[in-house]
Amino acid sequence: MKKIVIAIVALVILQNPLKAQTSLENPRGEVRLNFLNTILLGSVEVGYEQFIANDQSIGVELHLNDRFGYRRAGDARDFSATSFLLSYNFYFAGDDRGKIHVSPFFKYRFGEYTEAIDSSITVTSLNSGQIGLMSGYRWNYNNFAFGPFAAISRVFSQEVANTFSAIEFKAGFNVGYRF
């Protein structure tokens, strides 16, 4: 419950004060939620994009209850992690109804992964930075934006790489509102 309250507060803080609406051809910002991972993993991934040109934006995301890839908790395994993601987004090959996007990003995850193996508990620190590349498609309908994406990143923690992998794949389906 505490994490959901933090996510709501973050969304309110990230939104610009109420101003006149802009057209879809020239949005100033977008708030969004990774709808797919919220359903599949219980990970709340909220984000904000500030457009600096028609085809470029800077994005910030907060991932609550973050997981490494698509590993689930349960069965004596528990993720307790949060992460922040910063991206620079390029939009191309499309029109005002939708475009392909490519985004280099930096992500920092902090927290831990606990696993019980043969009556002993192993704790892995997930504190690590990652760099990666994300790509997807974003459809625009009225002021709503939605679409799938996939990401690959390199984790810079030997402890995380020993427990999971040095390479992390993620995907999702964002639903957002442009203003």
Instruction: Return the pLDDT at 6.
Output: 58
Q: Which domain holds residue 43?
A: 2-15+28-178
Residue 171 lies in a domain: yes
Residue 57 belongs to some domain of the structure: yes
Query: Is 23 within a domain?
Result: no
Nearest to 48 by CA among 32, 64, 35, 63: 32
Q: What is the CATH number of the domain that holds 76?
A: 2.40.160.20
List, for residues 118-148, the tens digit of each pLDDT value.
Answer: 889 999 999 999 999 999 999 999 999 999 9
Intervals of the chain under pLDDT 70: 1-25, 72-74
Query: Is the residue at 21 inside a domain?
Result: no
The predicted structure's pLDDT at residue 17: 45
pTM comes to 0.83
pLDDT in tens, 41-54: 889 999 999 999 98
Total domains, the chain: 1
Tell me, yes or no, whether 82 lies in a domain.
yes
Kindly compute the dihedral angle of the four CA atoms of residues 126, 159, 166, 157, in this order, to the nearest 10 degrees: 70
Kindly state whether residue 92 falls inside one of the protein's structural domains. Answer: yes
